[in-house]
Amino acid sequence: MRVPGVQIENSYEMLGLGMKRLPIRVWYSNWRVLVAAGVILLSSASSARLYAAEPGGVEVQNEAAARPRLIFACDGPTNDLQALLTPELIADLKILNAGVALSTEDFSRERADIVRRLNVAGIPVTAWILLPPEQGYYSNADNAPQTLTRFAEFDSWTRENKLQWAAVGLDIEPNFSQFAALKNHKMHLLRVLLRRAFDAGRVRRAQDAYSAVIRQIQSRGYLVQTYQLLFLADERNAHSTVLERVLGLVDVRGNDEVLMLYTSFNHKMGSAMIWEYGPDAQTIAVGSTASAGNAATDAAFSPLNWDEFSSDLIVARHFSAVIAVYNLQGCVRQGFIARLKVLNWNEPVLISSQSITRAARLRSVVHLVLWVGSNLIYLAAGAIVLIAWLAYRIARRRRRKRAEML
């Protein structure tokens, strides 16, 4: 049975991606908790056909789809990036009509030279704003002033070196280092989480602060992208603010929003997570193609192989004309760049019914948890009222029985 696809226009052609590499071991272990739900994408300019596969399964095939604009996240020390971005790789990026989202781990002359080389080659570059590790590395509810200061430093560096940017990206994620530091102090961690959970003003303050940050960035002539965890889509659907209060996420948008849908955290679900979350995304990021550099972590959350990576890309293309990839280093190391140049974007991808069921169930559980968390006070109040009513009824019945005995 053939179901016509939906064609959606993406008004933003340039985009970056959010992700990091701080204590990568810490990042992976925390994302194991946060990202058991998968990956996210939407915003498309492709026309696609869906075919019924096995019962409950889906075969996705993009009909006459052009190659999407790929944006490769690129982070790490400047010396490593100088060695990575060879003339040959830059030429390949040019052939792919791809861009680079470059992290702001330092504002050195050498890093400016990297940006300048990409500018000269005509490669669109997104400035992926990252803070010093001691300030949280990512932007979140606790460090809006530091984020604004970091942008000011970036802006000065940009003008001093006459650099050109397609956009500025804000990577909004929890302060994983803070949670890791409290991991062995569970009671203190619990107190912190409870205090945040009942701080209703935290959400409004963070949204106001980051709305001001975004306006300031735009006033300097930059497009703004925000990189968000996939669970923010569930939070919106559940009309909840639990994750914003507890984890420090901030539900704000600039000119474009990128939902990070990394299936490397759940290989069994695979592209089904992108299929599940795609309709909620403006732009999609896929990954991870990079190794964590730790044998135990890589065994639990191994990088995507080519079959998984290409499947994710094709399914993401169904929803989005722009796809961000984490990361460039992993793609180069695994030889994906050459294969991307000849990838058939019209090749059908089968998503099994089991994978779709897993993704749908997981999302239902996440939605339920968020709904319960948002309505906990009302549920508790209702429970107290119900208990009081039952106690009243029981007491009344006992009084009647005593009266009858007399």
Q: Which of 33, 10, 50 is nearest to 283 (CA)?
A: 10
Cα 104 to Cα 21, 54, 68, 169, 328, distances in angstroms: 12, 46, 25, 10, 16
Q: Which pLDDT score is estimated for 185?
A: 62
pLDDT at 222: 98
H helices of 14-143, where?
A: 24-34, 78-84, 87-95, 109-121
In this prediction, residue 2 carries a pLDDT of 32
- Tell me: the pLDDT tens digits for 108-129? 999 999 999 999 999 999 999 9
The pLDDT of residue 182: 57
The string of pLDDT tens digits covering residues 291-324 is 887 787 778 889 999 999 999 999 999 999 999 9
Token look-up 């559940």 returns 238
State pLDDT tens for residues 322-358: 999 999 999 999 999 999 999 999 999 999 999 999 9
The pLDDT score that the predictor gives to residue 290 is 93
Q: Which sign does the torsion angle of CA 18, 134, 300, 77 carry? A: positive
Residue 148: its H or E element: helix 144-161
Least confident of 48-57, 170-179, 266-275: 48-57
Concatenate the DSSP letters of all residues of 155-182 into one string: HHHHHHHT---SEEEEEB---HHHHHHT
One CATH from 3.20.20, 3.40.50, 1.10.3470, 3.30.390 for 2-374:
3.20.20
What is the DSSP code string of 271-324? HHHHHHHGGG-SEEEEE--S--S-HHHHHHSPPP-HHHHHHHHHHHHHH-SEEE
Distances (CA, A) of 284 to 37, 84, 234, 253, 379: 15, 24, 15, 15, 36
Task: Report residue 376's pLDDT band, with 50, 70 and 90 as the boundaries.
Answer: low
**Residue that wins the pLDDT comparison between 383 and 172:** 172
Q: How many CA within 13 A on the CB side of residue 241?
A: 17
Distance CA(315)–CA(271), nearest Å, equals: 7
Structure tokens of 39?
Answer: 């990956």
C-alpha 393/C-alpha 388 separation (Å) is 9
Q: pLDDT for 386-402, tens place per residue? A: 776 677 677 777 777 77
- The confidence score (pLDDT) of residue 381 equals 64
Of 277, 357, 345, 286, the residue nearest 61 (C-alpha): 345
Question: What are the sequence ranges of the domains in the chain?
Answer: 2-374, 376-406
pLDDT in tens, 230-277: 999 999 999 998 889 888 999 999 999 999 999 999 999 999 999 999
β-partners of residue 228 are 259
Spatial neighbors of 303 by CB under 8 A, at least 6 apart, are 264, 288, 289, 290, 291, 330, 334
Residue 197 has pLDDT above 80, yes or no: no
User: Please, which pLDDT band fits residue 195 given cuts at 50, 70 and 90?
Assistant: confident
Torsion of CA 267, 270, 276, 280, to 10 degrees: 90
Cβ proximity of 341 and 96 under 8 Å: yes
Task: Return the higher-pLDDT residue of 157 and 15.
Answer: 157
Q: Which two tokens stand for residue 261?
A: 């849908």
How many Å apart are CA 286 and CA 71, to the nearest integer?
10
Instruction: Kindly tell me if the per-residue pLDDT of 380 is higher than 90.
Output: no
Tell me how far CA of residue 277 lies from CA of 69, 125, 220, 263, 274, in angstroms: 20, 27, 33, 12, 5
Total-model pTM: 0.79
pLDDT above 90 covers a percentage of the chain that reads: 62
pLDDT higher for 103 or 52?
A: 103
Cα gap 5→60, rounded to integer Å: 9
- The partner residues of 275 in beta bridges, in order of sequence, read none
pLDDT the model gives residue 291 = 86
pLDDT of residue 296: 78
Mean pLDDT (the chain, rounded): 83
CA distance 74 to 84: 10
List 171's β-bridge partners, or say none: 227
pLDDT band with cut points at 50, 70 and 90 for residue 10: very low
